[in-house]
Structure 1
Amino acid sequence: MHDHVTARDQPASGHSGAASGQWFSPVDAPAGAIRVFALPHAGGASVMYREWNDLLPADISLQAVQLPGRQDRRFEPADLTIEPLVESLRDALLAELDDRPFALFGHSMGGLVAYRLALELERAGDPTPILIGAAAWSPEGFTMPTQEKISLPEDELVAWLLSLGSLPPEIYQDPAVMALTMPATRADLTVCANYTDDGARVDCPVIAYTATDDPLMEPGAARSWATRSSAYLGECTFPGGHFFIHDQALPITLDLTRRLRKALVTAS
């Protein structure tokens, strides 16, 4: 639920690749036949998907979502509930879309946001994704943070984040990184804590990505997607903890590419 970013990732201007106030990085979409909008985990930023640009093939156009309250958007207030966040993101997405099919991918809180965004698009009669890739989050069986957890002193909150797995402790030893990331982390965790599930169902396929040792996911939790999607495509499980996405980027992108190409054929 925290972005793997170091002070070296911060350009001198304070920007991460998206212009100030921009929701997507890169700002100009690559020319792939299928567009993917990738959402970060709590506290995360668009930079967490930087490696994916070299892993995805040319027919997949990736744009990472940059939420308010982090990196180049750090002076914008972060949302504390999911409804205004999804509403603003929906407006930004609709302004960005063209006639190409698109998919949503999200890790942890990003999976929740992708799910609610797809629902909002469907309810409004807007263009909808051909696929949702949900990593390390499921509608049921996911342990949401408590307000008590969110309010922990910084050192205790960091210790909890590290206990989730796959985050190098050294990223928390840089005060500049802490100052940049912890406010967004607390805000995003608050979004999760304030979320109330309504059992809503999305009318698009969902593929779940999980880890063998994710302490936030109950065994079999990903199967709850079967009651939330018109076409649950199953679960891909990888070694690792909650932040397995950092270590498993290659196999995840390979599987996602295969499923996106199949979804494109199905949607045509």
Structure 2
Amino acid sequence: MSLKAIAVDSVTPPVELICLAHAGGAAASYRQWQAALPRGVRVFAPDYAGHGLRRTQPPHRAWTPLIEDLVDEVAARLDRNAPFAVFGHSMGALAGFELCHALRARDGREPLWFGASASVAPERRTVESHWLGCPRETMAAKLAALGGTPAALLDDADFLDLVLPVLRADFHLCGVYIAHLRAGSPRVPLACPLDVFTGRGDAATACTADVAAWRDYTRGPFAQHAFDGGHFYLDMHVTPLLRHIGAALASCASHPLAQGLVT
């Protein structure tokens, strides 16, 4: 799908938008965003180990090494004199939340804005510890329920065998996330605006209270946005999604947090 540039004024100073993919996803899923967002927004979509351009590396099965890996890559890329924002879809919302706190712990920098997509709030996650050893059919059924994967691929045993190691690792991470969250130091709420995006037909975010609980994770403004569609609503509604993101970044650019620091 070809995206048209969104009619939002240029963002000044420039904003680095870090985009994090869903379970099994890769940075390539954001490849068209750069051209569609307002000038001044620079999209940076790092791949997790085992994904995309890093597909030859073993995927992480624990959150701590994944976030350490991610924060090293992001910190090396970020311009110290420009603000940054974070968007994550599904597993990427959890990774983005952890990244925000890891960057703040590392050098005191706070995101300009955080967008969480297709995910309930961190403390509302359910525990699922069966993914590393589940049958192929169980994984195929989960992927079918989430949507986003063509039926022909789900019926292709060779394809599933190829992607299963990464999918098992990613779904395991999502399933044990709440244990990781509770084992660490309490997260002080972010100071930036936090927007949550969901698909109205997504069973994973059907409990509105679990989605609304994201408001407890920031001291800044909070808003929810619902789109038609399921877990991968953004495949069909990426233009209005990017309009929301572009407007949010343009609005935040003049805020004191645009300096990328908190006190």
Task: Report the TM-score range of the alignment, normalised by the length of the smaller protein.
Answer: 0.7 to 0.9
**Closer, same or farther in 2 for the Cα pair 1:176/1:56, shift >3 Å?**
farther
Report the TM-score when normalising by structure 2: 0.82
Q: 2:210 aligns with which of 197, 221, 226?
A: 221
Q: CA deviation at 1:39?
A: 0.2
> Could you tell me whether the CA contact under 8 Å between 2:131 and 2:168 is conserved in 1?
no
1:204 aligned residue: 192
Identity %: 28
Secondary structure of residue in 1 paired with 2:29 = helix
Confirm whether residue 253 of structure 1 aligns to residue 228 of structure 2: no
Instruction: Give the whole-Å Cα distance in 2 for the aligned partners of 1:236 and 1:85.
Output: 29
Q: Deviations over 1:121-176 (max 9, x none)?
A: 22233422101110011325755462224532213311221112344323334566
**Closer, same or farther in 2 for the Cα pair 1:88/1:166, shift >3 Å?**
closer
Farther-moved stretch of structure 1 (138-147 vs 202-211): 138-147
Instruction: Give the whole-Å Cα distance in 2 for the aligned partners of 1:188 and 1:213.
Output: 23
Instruction: Give the whole-Å Cα distance in 2 for the aligned partners of 1:131 and 1:54.
Output: 20
Q: 2:28 aligns with which of 37, 47, 63?
A: 47
Could you list the runs of 5+ residues in structure 1 that have no partner in the other structure? 1-30
Q: 2:134 aligns with which of 152, 160, 163?
A: 152
**Closer, same or farther in 2 for the Cα pair 1:174/1:47, shift >3 Å?**
farther
Q: Deviations over 1:48-105 (max 9, x none)?
A: 1123233223221112121101232122121111111111111111111112211111
Q: 1:71 aligns with which of 39, 42, 52?
A: 52
Instruction: Give the whole-Å Cα distance in 2 for the aligned partners of 1:115 and 1:55.
Output: 24
Q: Identify, as 1 or 2, the structure richer in helix.
A: 2
Instruction: Give the whole-Å Cα distance in 2 for the aligned partners of 1:35 and 1:127.
Output: 13
> Could you tell me whether the CA contact under 8 Å between 2:127 and 2:176 is conserved in 1?
no
**Closer, same or farther in 2 for the Cα pair 1:155/1:235, shift >3 Å?**
same
- The RMSD of aligned alpha carbons is 2.2
Mapping for residues 1-268 of structure 1, pairs under 5 Å: 33-98=14-79, 99-140=81-122, 143-144=125-126, 146-174=128-156, 177-195=159-177, 196=179, 197-198=181-182, 200=187, 201-217=189-205, 218-267=207-256, 268=258
> Could you tell me whether the CA contact under 8 Å between 1:166 and 1:241 is conserved in 2?
no
Instruction: Give the whole-Å Cα distance in 2 for the aligned partners of 1:155 and 1:54.
Output: 38
Report the TM-score when normalising by structure 1: 0.81
Instruction: Give the whole-Å Cα distance in 1 for the aligned partners of 2:90 and 2:57.
Output: 22
Instruction: Give the whole-Å Cα distance in 2 for the aligned partners of 1:97 and 1:180.
Output: 33
> Could you tell me whether the CA contact under 8 Å between 1:32 and 1:60 is conserved in 2?
no
> Could you tell me whether the CA contact under 8 Å between 2:87 and 2:96 is conserved in 1?
yes
